[in-house]
């Protein structure tokens, strides 16, 4: 007979202190550094938030947020409450930012903690954790208010504007305080591209032969001392006629010594930009990997706009550089970088490794290749930031025709020669090109024989679309949003269908343009770049204790509501969804048509709407349909008129061309017929999103086509 000893409450709580964090991964790492006196638990993110399906802000009571427990977090709070030691302390160790402070405040309130100790650290190392616990503080109410203000303001703007957009455009669309401004940037860049007029120009070069037979290339750069680019073939031909077969003489050789300073260590923004450009990581992926690296204890906190490095970190880097690369790579004094962000806190550090001697193979083994690549990029940037300058010699050789001519045409060639690689020892540097080695030997007065002119017609290109990296850079320049929000901003405008990606570029959809045009025309203040940046400054002011929550929110909400009231009265729904005019005529009355955007794509609409409801679909694209696979019905089942292909919420379908007068519909049928009843088969989706092929005569016929599993799939399941 087995006997079980009854566990007492005191035995259950063998620990004396409870330390609460947000993430289970973070808890796991911290647990390695603390003894049995501590129990580490995680909230798994926020536990309290505004309700999902209502405004959740008391407009009559100083904009008090009506916070509620997030679904599923009640049990977590209950477990935390049970784990509070009767004697000892509770430490709130959430992330060192406004969001972390807000989580700490909510947890303290929900658990009714009277003497909770707030501890914060910027790296998860034994030393940092022990130091934080030894020097606890209290929850910073100013930071909590700043986070509350951001959350409430975003809810008021998003909720109220979205309600208006549902009325003026269609249900399901939404707007956001910062996301809509970011979308405006992308829309305006596309408008710049469309308005751009390309101009012709010519690249003109001359191939020259030295006495040793080596061929060098010089580019036409000036005409009578001024920058010159030929604009037409005629200009090029005229120039060549004047040049003839004259040899070229070296007019001047200029050598300049230039020093190139190392780059500062990463902030959140510059890390996202570099990871996108160098590794091809989206901002969302970068932040996810950085979070994993931080929680595993490999890097410092990844949400920061500071380029400051602690004296301890600087000493470690200088020692490492000296031993690994040589004393000449260590500058006489540590490199100092000034923060660009005016509210960056000097106590916060840039993103850096916690151990500069850690073997990257350990990171890869622990967290995988993608995380290891990001870690290596952070390591190189941080170490190189404290290395000596790169010294280069910039060489410029100017050549003119030996026979003097008027006007004087000047050709140039050259490059830069690395004299000392400095910080580039870590970041990498280009090798000296063979041509540049030859150019170095050229002296003033030398003559080179002309081999031939090389002319290439080109055209100016429109401004490039934003990539994630360039959009983040622009947002930071304008002071819109904060680095920690950039990833969410970009994900949100793509998730809403306002922006799509083509290769690495971001471009607006028709729906994105419609929403932007509406907001830009009706809420110019809200969509203004400078104004949006000013609001960020107001939120920073609350965090610093210089501004108060209620006055800031009250002013913003009243101006928002005023704009909404005006738009309610002055904006007509039928005018909002117009993209532009069309050359086609209305199929009903022969009047002109305009291009409108509907829920499921673009269509032509009579410009006399609503008097005339003539329309034509532009999104069906019948010519792209595979008729070997899909069946094309002959006529409308109700009125025998022609059917047109349209896009709907659940995919393509056939609709009567006389819609809305006739509402005849036919699903997109397959040519293949049901073996049981002879009706056409159709592609469907089940309750859980799984695709299958069934009979279009359902529910009279419940035939479902069986799909044979591929050998590879069978093997993977076995």
Q: Where do we find the tokens 């208010």?
A: 145
498 annotated active-site = no
Question: What is the pLDDT, as a whole number, of residue 1?
Answer: 42
Of the candidates 440, 459, 478, which is a domain's last residue?
Answer: 459
Of the candidates 95, 113, 139, which is a domain's last residue?
Answer: 139
* Three-state SS letters, 127-196: HHHHHHHHCCECCCHHHHHHHHHHHHHHHHHHHHHHHHHHHHCCCCCCCCCCHHHHHHHHHHHHHHHHHC
Tokens of 685: 């989706």
Residue 41's H or E segment, with its range, is strand 38-42
Residues 535, 564, single domain; the answer is: yes
Question: What is the pLDDT, as a whole number, of residue 717?
Answer: 42
Q: Residue 525: which CATH number? A: 1.10.460.10
Q: Whole-angstrom distance between the N-terminal and C-terminal Cα of the chain?
A: 42
Is residue 380 one of the residues assigned to a domain? yes
Q: Residue 120: which CATH number? A: 3.40.50.140
Lay out the sheet containing 578-585: strands in order across.
Answer: 578-585, 592-598, 601-606, 615-617
What DSSP state is assigned to residue 346? T
**Mean pLDDT per 10-residue segment, the chain (718 residues):** 45 82 93 92 94 93 95 94 91 93 95 91 93 94 95 95 90 90 96 93 92 89 91 89 85 94 95 95 95 95 92 95 96 90 62 95 96 97 96 93 84 91 88 74 90 93 95 93 88 91 90 92 92 92 94 95 92 80 83 79 80 71 70 88 76 79 87 91 76 89 78 42
Is residue 584 one of the residues assigned to a domain? no
Is residue 609 one of the residues assigned to a domain? no
Residues 53, 98, single domain; the answer is: yes
Cβ neighbours of residue 692 under 8 Å, at least 6 residues apart?
683, 684, 685, 686, 704, 705, 707
List residues bridging with 55 in a β-sheet. none
Alpha helices in 356-416 (DSSP H): 360-367, 369-384
Question: Could you tell me the pTM of the whole model?
Answer: 0.81
Residue 237's H or E segment, with its range, is helix 233-243
Query: Using CA atoms, how far apart are residues 62 and 376, in angstroms rounded to an integer?
Result: 49
Residues 468, 552, single domain; the answer is: yes
Residues 435, 499, single domain; the answer is: no
Q: Where do we find the tokens 């030295």?
A: 210
List residues bridging with 253 in a β-sheet. 397
Q: Where do we find the tokens 């840039």?
A: 350
- DSSP-assigned letters across all residues of 505-573: EEEE-HHHHHHHHHHHHH-TTTT-HHHHHHHHHHHHHHHTTSS-HHHHHHHHHHHHHHHHHHHHHH--H
Residues 62, 82, single domain; the answer is: yes
Instruction: Give the domain range for residue 186.
Output: 155-196+464-573
Question: What is the pLDDT, as a whole number, of residue 9?
Answer: 47
Contact 600, 655 (CB under 8 A): no
Residues 569, 499, single domain; the answer is: yes
Residues 374, 394, single domain; the answer is: no
Is residue 588 one of the residues assigned to a domain? no
Query: Using CA atoms, how far apart are residues 478 and 337, in angstroms rounded to an integer?
Result: 21
Residues 452, 473, single domain; the answer is: no
- DSSP-assigned letters across all residues of 474-500: HHHHHT-S-GGGHHHHHHHHHHTTSEE
Residues 486, 555, single domain; the answer is: yes
Is residue 449 one of the residues assigned to a domain? yes
Of the candidates 435, 459, 483, which is a domain's last residue?
Answer: 459
Catalytic residue among 301, 409, 466, 486: 301
Residues 373, 324, single domain; the answer is: yes
Q: Residue 369: which CATH number? A: 1.10.290.10
For the chain, what is the radius of gyration of the CA atoms?
Answer: 33
Residues 68, 132, single domain; the answer is: yes
Number of domains composing the chain: 5
Is residue 643 one of the residues assigned to a domain? no
Q: Residue 207: which CATH number? A: 2.70.20.10
Question: What is the pLDDT, as a whole number, of residue 298?
Answer: 96
Question: What is the pLDDT, as a whole number, of residue 583?
Answer: 81
Residues 380, 396, single domain; the answer is: no
Question: What is the pLDDT, as a whole number, of residue 193?
Answer: 94
Is residue 603 one of the residues assigned to a domain? no
CA 178 to chain centroid, in Å, comes to 13
Question: What is the pLDDT, as a whole number, of residue 441?
Answer: 86
Is residue 611 one of the residues assigned to a domain? no
Question: What is the pLDDT, as a whole number, of residue 246?
Answer: 81
Contact 36, 14 (CB under 8 A): yes
């Amino acid at each position: 007979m087995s006997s079980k000893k009854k566990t007492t409450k005191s035995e259950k709580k063998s620990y004396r202190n409870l330390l609460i964090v947000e993430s289970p991964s973070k808890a796991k790492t911290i647990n390695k550094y603390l003894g049995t006196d501590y129990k580490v638990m995680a909230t798994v993110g926020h536990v309290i938030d505004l309700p999902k399906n209502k405004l959740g802000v008391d407009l009559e009571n100083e904009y008090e947020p009506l916070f509620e427990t997030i679904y599923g977090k009640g049990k977590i709070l209950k477990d935390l409450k049970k784990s509070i030691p009767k004697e000892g302390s509770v430490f709130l160790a959430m992330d060192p930012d406004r969001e972390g402070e807000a989580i700490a405040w909510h947890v303290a309130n929900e658990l009714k903690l009277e003497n909770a100790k707030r501890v914060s650290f910027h790296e998860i190392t034994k030393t940092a954790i022990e130091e934080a616990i030894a020097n606890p503080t209290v929850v910073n109410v100013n930071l909590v208010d700043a986070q509350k203000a951001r959350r409430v303001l975003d809810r008021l703007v998003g909720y109220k504007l979205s309600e208006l957009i549902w009325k003026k455009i269609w249900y399901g669309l939404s707007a956001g305080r910062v996301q809509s401004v970011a979308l405006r940037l992308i829309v305006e860049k596309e408008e710049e591209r469309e308005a751009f007029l390309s101009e012709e120009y010519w690249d003109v070069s001359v191939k020259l032969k030295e006495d040793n037979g080596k061929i060098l290339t010089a580019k036409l750069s000036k005409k009578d001392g001024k920058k010159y680019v030929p604009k037409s073939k005629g200009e090029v031909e005229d120039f060549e006629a004047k040049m003839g077969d004259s040899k070229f003489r070296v007019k001047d050789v200029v050598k300049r010594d230039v020093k190139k300073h190392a780059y500062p260590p990463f902030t959140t923004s510059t890390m996202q930009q570099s990871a996108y450009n160098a590794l091809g990581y989206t901002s969302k992926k970068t932040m996810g990997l950085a979070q994993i690296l931080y929680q595993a204890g490999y890097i410092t906190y990844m949400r920061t706009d500071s380029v400051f490095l602690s004296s301890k970190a600087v000493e470690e880097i200088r020692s490492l550089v000296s031993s690994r690369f040589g004393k000449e790579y260590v500058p006489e004094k540590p490199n100092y970088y000034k923060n660009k962000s005016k509210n960056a806190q000097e106590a916060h550090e840039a993103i850096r490794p916690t151990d500069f001697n850690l073997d990257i193979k350990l990171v890869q083994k622990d967290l995988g290749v993608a995380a290891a690549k990001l870690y290596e990029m952070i390591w190189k940037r941080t170490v190189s930031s404290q290395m000596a300058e790169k010294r280069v010699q910039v060489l410029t050789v100017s050549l003119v025709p030996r026979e003097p001519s008027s006007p004087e045409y000047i050709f140039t060639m050259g490059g830069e020669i690395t004299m000392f690689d400095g910080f580039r020892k870590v970041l990498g540097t280009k090798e000296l090109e063979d041509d540049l080695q030859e150019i170095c030997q050229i002296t003033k007065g030398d003559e080179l024989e002309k081999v031939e002119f090389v002319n290439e017609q080109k055209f100016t290109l429109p401004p490039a679309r934003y990539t994630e990296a360039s959009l983040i850079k622009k947002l930071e320049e304008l002071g819109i949003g904060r680095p920690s929000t950039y990833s969410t901003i970009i994900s949100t405008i793509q998730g809403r269908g306002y922006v799509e990606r083509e290769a690495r570029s971001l471009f607006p959809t028709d729906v994105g343009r419609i929403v932007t045009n509406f907001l830009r025309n009706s809420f110019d203040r809200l969509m203004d770049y400078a104004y949006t940046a000013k609001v960020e400054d107001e939120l920073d002011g609350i965090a610093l204790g210089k501004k108060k929550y209620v006055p800031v929110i009250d002013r913003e909400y009243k101006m928002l509501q005023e704009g909404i009231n005006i738009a309610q009265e002055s904006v007509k729904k039928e005018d909002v969804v117009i993209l532009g005019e069309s050359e086609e005529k209305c199929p009903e009355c022969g009047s002109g048509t305009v291009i409108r955007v509907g829920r499921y794509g673009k269509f032509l609409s009579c410009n006399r709407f609503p008097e005339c409801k003539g329309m034509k679909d532009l999104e069906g694209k019948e010519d792209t349909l595979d008729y070997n696979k899909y069946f094309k019905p002959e006529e409308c089942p109700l009125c025998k008129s022609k059917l047109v292909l349209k896009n709907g919420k659940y995919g393509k379908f056939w609709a009567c061309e006389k819609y809305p007068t006739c509402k005849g519909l036919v699903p997109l049928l397959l040519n293949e017929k049901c073996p049981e009843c002879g009706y056409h088969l159709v592609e469907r989706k089940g309750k859980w999103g799984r695709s299958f092929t069934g009979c279009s005569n359902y529910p009279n016929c419940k035939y479902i086509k069986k799909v044979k599993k591929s050998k590879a799939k069978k093997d993977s399941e076995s």
